[in-house]
């Protein structure tokens, strides 16, 4: 008897069912899951709670999405469609990559759970939107002349995802406090200054006046780090090596 073919546990490798009934479609489930994730966070998401929000039982959801892992693949792919990547062949590749990186960061901050689950969402990279996103980045870096565009992409995304994960966690903490970012920092600062008192360099940094605009500070940190990454990548271009 022929061996049974083993399927990968992913929504993108499974044969899709017949079109959904309009009352409860896969698209409606994904939209509501994204809204729930944005409002309540990754810890609050369950098929039971999602079903209740849709006035349907968890069993009804499983007719459209086989597992919670598959649901996460779908929501990640849906959100990635919001990221803008400029067309290849633009005169300034650094400006184009910067635009894409800033769009990724903005998307990750609109959906604070995104960066933290990208590496956990099964085979999410097989989704149509993530594939299109990766293809546009590959075209951009190839047109810029990078001999190994995939490595350049990984370098930029590692920076952007790392920074966005930290920033999203920080903003989530502030949101839960019910304060503005400036008020939260002002309340936290005395404790931070006390903790840094025995550390010369940190004490000096914490003694500086509080930032007038925390958003501007976060933007500046992201921009500085991205510039450093792009400076390093520019050295890998053939004309720079020559």
- Name the pLDDT band for 167 (thresholds 50, 70, 90): very high
The verdict on residue 155 lying in a domain is yes
Query: 41-55, pLDDT tens digit by residue?
Result: 888 899 999 999 998
Asked if 153 and 103 touch (Cβ cutoff 8 Å), the reply is: no
Number of domains making up the chain: 2
pLDDT in tens, 190-242: 999 999 999 999 988 888 887 779 999 999 999 999 999 999 999 999 876 55
Confidence band, pLDDT 50/70/90 cuts, at residue 144: very high
Helix (H) or strand (E) holding 159: helix 149-177
Q: What is the pLDDT of residue 20?
A: 45
Q: How confident is the model at residue 8 (pLDDT cuts 50, 70, 90)?
A: low
Examine the domain organization and report whether 58 and 122 are in the same domain. no
| The pLDDT of residue 123 is above 70 | no
Q: Are residues 42 and 104 in the same domain?
A: no
**pTM of the entire predicted model:** 0.85
pLDDT at 221: 95
Whether 22 shows a pLDDT value over 70: the answer reads: no
The CATH number for 141's domain is 1.10.357.10
Are 235 and 136 within one domain?
yes
The pLDDT of residue 21 is: 45
Task: Compute the distance between CA of residue 142 and CA of residue 227 in angstroms, rounded to an integer.
Answer: 20
Quick one: 161 and 103 in the same domain?
A: yes
- Do 52 and 150 fall within a single domain? no
Residue 133 covered by a domain: yes
Residues 135, 174, single domain; the answer is yes
For residues 118 and 226, membership in a common domain is answered with yes
Whether residue 192 lies inside any domain: the answer is no
Question: So what's the pLDDT on residue 3?
Answer: 55
pLDDT value, residue 83: 97
Are 54 and 101 part of one and the same domain? Answer: no
Mean pLDDT of 59-86: 91
Task: Please report the pLDDT score of residue 14 as a whole number.
Answer: 62
Residues 141 and 230 in one domain: yes
Show the domain range for 164.
93-178+211-241
The answer to whether residue 75 is domain-embedded is no
**The domain spanning residue 56 has which CATH number?**
1.10.10.60
93 pLDDT more than 90: yes
Residue 78 domain-assigned (yes or no): no
Q: Are residues 31 and 114 in the same domain?
A: no
Q: Is the same domain home to 237 and 172?
A: yes
The proportion of the chain whose per-residue pLDDT surpasses 70, expressed as a percent, equals 87
Whether residue 100 lies inside any domain: the answer is: yes
Establish if 97 belongs to a structural domain. yes
> What is 46-112 written as a DSSP string?
-HHHHHHHTTS-HHHHHTT-SSHHHHHHHHHHHHHTT---PPTT-S-HHHHHHHHHHHHHHHHHHST
Give residue-wise pLDDT tens across range 100-109.
999 999 999 9
Going 173 to 174 to 175 to 178, the CA torsion angle's sign is positive
What's the chain's average pLDDT? 87
| 59 plus 115 within the same structural domain | no
User: Does residue 126 form part of some domain?
Assistant: yes
């Amino acid at each position: 008897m022929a061996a049974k073919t083993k399927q990968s546990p992913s929504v993108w490798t499974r044969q899709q069912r017949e079109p959904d009934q309009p009352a409860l479609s896969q698209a409606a489930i994904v939209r509501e899951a994204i809204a729930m994730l944005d409002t309540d966070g990754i810890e609050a998401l369950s098929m039971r709670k999602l079903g209740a929000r849709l006035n349907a039982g968890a069993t009804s959801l499983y007719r459209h999405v086989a597992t919670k892992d598959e649901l996460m693949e779908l929501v990640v792919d849906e959100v990635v469609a919001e990221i803008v990547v400029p067309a290849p062949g633009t005169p300034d590749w650094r400006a184009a990559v910067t635009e894409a990186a800033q769009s990724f960061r903005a998307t990750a901050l609109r959906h604070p759970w995104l960066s933290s689950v990208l590496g956990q969402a099964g085979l999410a990279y097989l989704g149509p939107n993530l594939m299109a996103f990766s293809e546009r980045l590959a075209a951009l870096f190839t047109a810029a002349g990078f001999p190994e565009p995939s490595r350049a992409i990984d370098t930029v995304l590692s920076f952007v995802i790392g920074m966005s994960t930290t920033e999203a966690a920080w903003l989530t903490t502030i949101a839960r406090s019910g304060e503005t970012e400036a008020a939260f920092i002002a309340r936290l600062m005395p404790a931070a200054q006390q903790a840094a008192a025995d550390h010369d360099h940190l004490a000096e940094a914490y003694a500086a006046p509080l930032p007038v605009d925390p958003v501007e500070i976060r933007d500046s940190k992201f921009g500085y780090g991205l510039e450093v990454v792009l400076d390093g990548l520019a050295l890998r271009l053939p004309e720079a090596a020559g």
